[in-house]
Amino acid sequence: ASAPIIVAIDGGAASGKSSTARALAARFGLLHVDTGSFYRQVCAKLMAQRIAPDQTEPIEAGLAAVTFSTQVVGNTAQLLIDGHAAGDDIRSEQVNTHVSHYAALPAVRAALLAYQRSQPEVARKHGFRGVVMEGRDIGSVIFPNADFRIFLHADQAARAARRAAEGRVDAVAERDRLDTSRKAAPLLCPPGAVDIDSTHLTLEEVVEKLSALIAQKLPPLSSC
């Protein structure tokens, strides 16, 4: 069989990555991999252990001792840490506030690197045609040679309004500031990526644009 297709989607908080990735996964038969949820899960675990982001040694020791595995549920890949799936707490205000501080640490990023790169093989084994993987550094660091690299932009105000409409408390601007300014794998639109400004587009319009692009290489599941 041919190599799994890799669709990489990056962008700031509430730029539409998860909604877009879910729609593309369903349309093209891909495994949806939300790497933001992985960083949230690691953050929640370290916070539960009362390990602060400046405690480098406990963080390194803690992460070296855990086992990462994957549970495929429907068409999404869930990270299991020592066999445990994420709890609802990964979307809490607490995690929203602290996740970027942990995600800036090279030790945390290194711990998740090989795991993320193993996902196309997980997808293949489960009968998917590839992955649609979303995050901040998928097209720049994790899969710089991905079949498709997409960067979603949207105005700060539009993104804050989207989160508010979902009823979530989230300091979108502050997380973007931290994610963009860090040294390790900063949030950026990598050279050569397809750059989409979704400020004035509906989710459906974004999905249609990207589907047209992907369909040039991979026929949608519904077509014959």
15 is in an annotated binding site: yes
Taking Cα atoms as reference points, which of 166, 181, 169 lies closest to residue 92? 169
Residues numbered 136 to 175 that lie near ligand CDP (CB under 6 A) are: 136-138, 143-146, 162, 166, 175
Output Rg (C-alpha) for the chain, integer angstroms: 17
Minimum distance between the CB of residue 73 and ligand CDP, rounded to whole angstroms? 17
Q: Does 14 bind ligand CDP (CB under 6 A)?
A: yes
Q: Does 35 bind ligand CDP (CB under 6 A)?
A: yes
CB nearer ligand CDP, residue 166 or residue 195: 166
Q: Does 100 bind ligand CDP (CB under 6 A)?
A: yes
Quick check: helix, strand or coil at residue 151?
strand
18 is in an annotated binding site: yes
Q: Does 120 bind ligand CDP (CB under 6 A)?
A: yes
Output the DSSP codes for 29-94.
T-EEEEHHHHHHHHHHHHHHTT--TT-HHHHHHHHHH--EEEEEETTEEEEEETTBPP-GGGGSHH
Q: Find the binder of ligand CDP among 81, 203, 209, 211 (CB under 6 A).
A: 203
Q: How many residues are present in the chain? A: 224
Residue with tokens 């950026």: 188
**Gap between the Cα atoms of 191 and 203, Å rounded:** 24
Residues sharing a CB contact under 8 Å with residue 114, sequence separation 6 or more, in sequence order: none
Q: Which residue is nearest to ligand CDP (CB)?
A: 36
Six token digits for residue 118: 């193993």
CB nearer ligand CDP, residue 29 or residue 123: 123
Count residues contacting ligand CDP (CB under 6 A)?
A: 38
127 is in an annotated binding site: no
Binding marks (x or -) toward ligand CDP, 39..58, rule CB under 6 A?
Answer: xx------------------
11 is in an annotated binding site: yes
Q: Does 17 bind ligand CDP (CB under 6 A)?
A: yes
Taking Cα atoms as reference points, which of 120, 113, 148, 143 lies closest to residue 20? 148
Residues sharing a CB contact under 8 Å with residue 96, sequence separation 6 or more, in sequence order: 168, 169, 170, 171, 175
CB nearer ligand CDP, residue 25 or residue 224: 25
- Binding-site members are 11-19
Residues found near ligand CDP in the complex (CB under 6 A): 3, 6, 11, 13-19, 35-37, 39-40, 99-100, 103, 117, 120-121, 135-138, 143-146, 162, 166, 175, 179, 198, 201-203, 206
